[in-house]
Amino acid sequence: MSANETLRAVCDAGLFDLDGVLTPTATVHMLAWSRMFNAYLADRAARTGADASTRPYTDEDYFAHVDGKPRYDGVRDFLASRGIAIPDGDPADPPEADTVCGLGNRKNTFFARVLTEDGVAPYPGSVLLLDHLATLGVPLAVVSSSQNAEAVLAAAGLRERFALVVDGRVAHARGLAGKPSPATYAWAAETLGVPPERAVVFEDAVSGVAAGRAGGFGLVVGVDRGVGAEELRAHGADLVVSDLSELLP
């Protein structure tokens, strides 16, 4: 069975991660995380003395600790990997606060600035698949940990294609656990009126494909934008492509 036939066999709804699946905003996020964490680590080293916990943040740290997770969870997990413990604080903390929430909000200021200045264009292959699914009448949702999903979709000219957007703000308001929990994907499928086994998850992050597998979805498509096909399969992807256009008939 071809990749497209496999997709058609179970696709009564398409549930798409945003960053790295529909838009290349992962690179913007990576830059924002890098600038924020490295500035924080440098300041910490100046205040407390350099040690192993203040070695520079790298792209490997992004993929291991941050990618696909809710923002504050990413901050907390990265700091834990360096043996750094700071107060959680509150989501209302200002970006200057040295708390988990403050650092998360600090990162978001970098991201918003780059998005405003440079904009973002969707992956052409992803747009082609969205076009194809639209001709089939398949309802579509975006399921993203980002709190910037609405702004990114609008900047990319994609918002009107989706019946539903489940982002970090919606998850917080409804008390839905973030990926790798399947809660946000499950709520999206339920809201679209489609059982999980008849919905397809499209993800580029390890935590996202793990969420798809844990939720019992009909098909979990891993999009390899750098994590690696074997890693995506190991965490739950049924099928791995390098571009969503590979799923077209």
Active site residues: 17, 19
Give the whole-angstrom CA distance, residue 236 versus residue 190: 21
Give the whole-angstrom CA distance, residue 179 versus residue 120: 24
Q: Is the peptide bond between 94 and the residue preceding it cis, with omega within 30 degrees of 0?
A: no
DSSP string, the chain: --HHHHHHHH-SEEEE--BTTTBTHHHHHHHHHHHHHHHHHHHHHHHH---GGGSPP-HHHIIIIITTS-HHHHHHHHHHHTT-------TT--TTS-SHHHHHHHHHHHHHHHHHHH-----HHHHHHHHHHHHTT--EEEE-S-S-HHHHHHHHT-GGG-SEEE-HHHHHHHTPPPTTSSHHHHHHHHHHT--GGGEEEEE-SHHHHHHHHHTT-SEEEEE-SSS-HHHHHHTT-SEEESSGGGG--
CA 149 vs. chain centroid, Å, equals 10
CA 205 vs. chain centroid, Å, equals 7
